[in-house]
Structure 1
Amino acid sequence: MEQNLNIFGQPTGPALVNWQARTFPEPVTLTGQYCRLEPLNATQHTDSLYQAFHPANGSPSFWTYLSVGPFDDPQSFSAFIRTAVASRDPLFFAVVDLRSEQAVGLLSLMRTDVRNGVTEVGNVMFSPSLQRTLLSTEAQFLLMQYVFSELSYRRYEWKCDSLNAPSRNAASRLGFQFEGIFRQAVVYKGRSRDTAWFSVIDSDWPALKMAFQRWLSADNFNAQGEQQFRLQQMIQQAQTQADPRA
């Protein structure tokens, strides 16, 4: 890669011609084939989310790596939802299953930095019925598409407890690049957290978008709903097509 040098012969980052601060994310509705992301609403979503997060055979382990919960009763959960609705950053979205029209999960855009075009997907609370489904992947795709294709941000982050293997695996599967560990970065639930950092940047997005669209296509699933090709395979293929040297 050609290196940029200033008049003193010092290496510098690439120049950004006509760069301008980005706009703040809005409480928009994003609709896909299987799910819809819509602004979190206490009246519309509280009951269905409480049921989704507290199934009869549910396990408290669901809440281990989340900064909130578990909630022992509907009242405490409702208070959390009201607080989330009032928040601007994080900006919360409900994940609605288009088949049932019920909210089955939450996620947010947070730590948004409009000056530098950076935001983070966080507060990912996907109920047991949403985890490892088409809907969960599409929900992540819809929010990523909003950030890059509509807001034109430069960087999209994912952070989690370094010991949270499912979250780290999910980030890698979705095309985020691992960047390292921030030691003792957070204190939550009375314990210390080393934070694993991942990111997608704008130059990654075209290949990722192509891979997501191919993976989410009905042609990629048989009559039993089983995938023909894994998302990571399609990401690798799209990256190779974008850059044969990859």
Structure 2
Amino acid sequence: MRYNSDGQPIGYSVTNWSKREYPTKAILEGTYCDLEKIDPKQHLEDLYQVYGPTSPAKNWTYLPMEPFEDKAEFFTYLESISRSQDPFHYAIIDKFNRKAIGTLALMRTNREQGTIEVGYVIYSDQLKQTRIATEAQYLLACYALDELGYRRYEWKCDALNDPSRKAATRLGFVFEGIFRNAVVYKDRNRDTAWFSIIDSEWTQTKSRLESWLAPSNFTADGQQKKRLKEC
């Protein structure tokens, strides 16, 4: 705690601060997956399996969009998001077979204040609850907090989306509260749950993620030896 000359409590000093850069990196390389900037031609076929009409309806309940019924329409969507600077969209690529099996994005970028959010987290069923899913989140957080130097990394979701809330907590995000009546989507109300990781706690959170992701933590058939919360 610091105090000013009038005896009022004030925040800790932030020196030599400068605004951050927008995300621009086309490839983030990992052990089990890579994140590749969305390329409509390269990723169309794989991602249409994730976003298209065969995608389970339950995967879209808490997303502000619906699955695509037409491949040409989906290609137009991919072209649009591939040109976007904010959000900056990535495809999640399985290193074993080079298939795109999901997407995520860095978004709501505030360069002046150093805040950025992970969003558009859309996973195929084969990606959910895998080490690739965890590593994809790890790679994006490393890029935002380590390489780009943001101070605050956010995760937001519908407060009723229990799997998303559990995923945020598992990854080390800290629950901050509920913004009531925050959004209207799909003709219904959304209260939004807010989570964050800040720069001062990232080193410990990063170390825990790296311990879990280490190849030595998995058996030959890919089963975890320790759960993330045990690392």
Specify the TM-score bucket, using the shorter chain as the normaliser: over 0.9
Q: How many residues align?
A: 231
1:48 aligns with 2:40: no
Residue 159 of structure 2 aligns with an amino acid whose one-letter code is: S
Asked if 2 retains the 8 angstrom alpha-carbon contact of 1:172 and 1:178, the reply is yes
Superposed CA offset, 1:36-86 (max 9, x none): 001111011111101234485x42111111111221221232222122112
1:227 aligns with 2:230: no
SS in structure 2 at match of 1:21: coil
CA distance in 2, matches of 1:162, 1:192: 10
Q: How far off its partner does 1:226 sit?
A: 1.4
Q: Provide the residue aligned with 2:179 in structure 1.
A: 182
Q: Provide the residue aligned with 1:79 in structure 2.
A: 76
Residue 2 of structure 2 aligns with an amino acid whose one-letter code is: N
CA distance in 1, matches of 2:57, 2:76: 19
TM-score computed with the length of structure 2 as normaliser: 0.96
Asked if 2 retains the 8 angstrom alpha-carbon contact of 1:22 and 1:114, the reply is yes
Residue 198 of structure 1 aligns with an amino acid whose one-letter code is: F
Q: How far off its partner does 1:222 sit?
A: 1.6
CA distance in 1, matches of 2:161, 2:45: 28
Q: Provide the residue aligned with 1:38 in structure 2.
A: 36
Identity across the alignment (%): 48
Q: Provide the residue aligned with 1:155 in structure 2.
A: 152
CA distance in 2, matches of 1:212, 1:83: 33
SS in structure 1 at match of 2:200: coil
CA distance in 2, matches of 1:214, 1:200: 18
CA distance in 2, matches of 1:64, 1:43: 28
Query: Cα RMSD between the aligned structures?
Result: 1.3
5+ residue gaps, structure 1, are: 235-246
Asked if 1 retains the 8 angstrom alpha-carbon contact of 2:28 and 2:34, the reply is yes
Asked if 2 retains the 8 angstrom alpha-carbon contact of 1:181 and 1:194, the reply is yes
Q: How far off its partner does 1:116 sit?
A: 0.8
Q: Provide the residue aligned with 1:115 in structure 2.
A: 112
Instruction: Describe the shift of the 1:76–1:55 C-alpha distance in structure 2 as closer, same or farther (beyond 3 A).
Output: closer
